[in-house]
Amino acid sequence: MRIVTWVVAASLMLALGWPQLMAQQQPAGKAAPQAAAERTGPKLQIGDAAPALQVGKWLQGEPVKAFQKDSVYVVEFWATWCGPCIASMPHLDKLAQKFQKQGLVVVALTTEDEANSSEAVTEFVQGDGAKYHFRYAFCDDNKMMTQYMEAAEQQGIPCSFVVGKDGKVAFIGHPSELDQVLPQVLDGTWSVEKAQQMAAAQQKFNSVITTMETDPVAALATLEEIAQANPAKAQADDFQSVRMICLALAKKYDELIPVAEAQLAKMNKAEDGMGLISLAGILMSVNAEAPHPKLAEMGKKALDKALALESKSPEVLMMAAQFYALSGNREKALEYGKKAVELAPDDLQELLKAELKQLEALSLEKLQRGKESDQEQEATTDRAQDDAK
């Protein structure tokens, strides 16, 4: 049973945006950060002085001319073509507001490429991006990419660099981990050792992602080891998303359902639209492979709530279209897919049009399977009636 379909992969991209997938999803014209083995320049590690921000222009907020001693900074690398980057912004914004009075400054920094033009970035910042409490920085050269991403040997985005009050790099990793990191950096209890421990746990977690399809039982055992060593990590949404998929692959549905129920309640309370659409993708895809009324019910609830919260998000609408295609509802699939394309900015148009063609084919295949199943059921019923006569 193949649970990790392209729909689930898309769901995980929204939830995680982990480097292995992100490197594969970069559009034409966007070169990946230079591989570690090819690098000859300076490295950037935890505890090193953070490079000064040298950007082409500031699109929103006061420019950061230098890192101040009374502030903590999150330098977030993102791009308009990066779905997981956009998906992580609401969560990052909540952190920006929560810790603003304690001196937190969030800088959303992006670099120009063929798929991430100045016009596309400006359009985003002045549109959907305007609601976030970030300072937006645009780079027209690769200086920051080289001094941060490549120097730190980071292969994908979104990627967060936390700069402490001492001007040194305190953390490098995915924005989903900032909930654990920022309170400690702000109150002075964070350390290089803690950062190294978290990095080791994340590396172990990434190994689960790459092996869970081939050996889900072993993957679950590794997740349990991570949870025992780092309980806070076990509460993170990315951890729970991977855990649910591993449980489904291992056919442990009785264990999967309470985990999904807890995640649904948590995301409903937080009104986390992107989290809900990711959860819906996992549950509805699992249900398509192994039908279960409870999974179907929770998946539909998550989908409906996500659409209510993110009714104008092209990414959410396209995910909804994919789910309907998966269930064989061709009419709904095309409705949401076309709406996603209509609302998408120019830089996402071609990508979403290609996805629309894919889901159209998927919905046709699913619809045909449904008809064949109905015909088989009718034939079985007819034979049973003939036998009874």
Residue after which a domain boundary falls, among 170, 190, 210: 190
Say how many domains are in the chain.
2
| Residue-wise DSSP of 133-167 | --EEEEESSSHHIIIIIITTT--SSSEEEEE-TTS
Mean pLDDT of the chain: 83
Do 178 and 320 have their domain in common? no
Whether residue 334 is contained in a domain is answered as yes
- Which pLDDT score, from 0 to 100, does residue 1 have? 47
- Which pLDDT score, from 0 to 100, does residue 387 have? 59
pLDDT digits (tens, 9 = 90+) for 187-202: 999 999 999 888 888 8
Residue after which a domain boundary falls, among 136, 164, 190: 190
* pLDDT surpasses 80 at 364: no
Do 156 and 17 have their domain in common? yes
Please state, in angstroms and rounded to a whole number, the distance separating the CA atoms of residues 247 and 216: 7
Q: How many C-beta atoms surround the C-beta of residue 202 within 10 A?
A: 19
* Domain harbouring 41, CATH code: 3.40.30.10
Whether residue 240 is contained in a domain is answered as no
Please state, in angstroms and rounded to a whole number, the distance separating the CA atoms of residues 374 and 351: 35
Whether residue 236 is contained in a domain is answered as no
Q: Please compute, for residue 113, the number of CA atoms within 13 A of its CA located in the half-sphere on the CB side.
A: 18
Pick the range with the lowest mean pLDDT from 37-46, 136-145, 220-229, 254-263.
Answer: 37-46
CB 238 within 8 A of CB 174: yes
Whether residue 206 is contained in a domain is answered as no
- Which pLDDT score, from 0 to 100, does residue 36 have? 43
Whether residue 73 is contained in a domain is answered as yes
pLDDT digits (tens, 9 = 90+) for 104-119: 999 999 999 988 999 9
Residue 133 sits in which domain range? 6-190
Whether residue 24 is contained in a domain is answered as yes
Q: Please compute, for residue 81, the number of CA atoms within 13 A of its CA located in the half-sphere on the CB side.
A: 25
Whether residue 224 is contained in a domain is answered as no
pTM: 0.74
Whether residue 369 is contained in a domain is answered as yes
Angle between the N-to-C axes of helices 6-15 and 273-289, in degrees from 0 to 180, rounded to the nearest 10: 160
CB 16 within 8 A of CB 8: no
Do 321 and 180 have their domain in common? no
Which residue type occupies 311?
Answer: S
Provide the CA 290 distance to its chain's centre, in angstroms. 25
Residue after which a domain boundary falls, among 156, 190, 224: 190
> Rounded mean pLDDT of 81-110?
92
Please state, in angstroms and rounded to a whole number, the distance separating the CA atoms of residues 52 and 49: 9
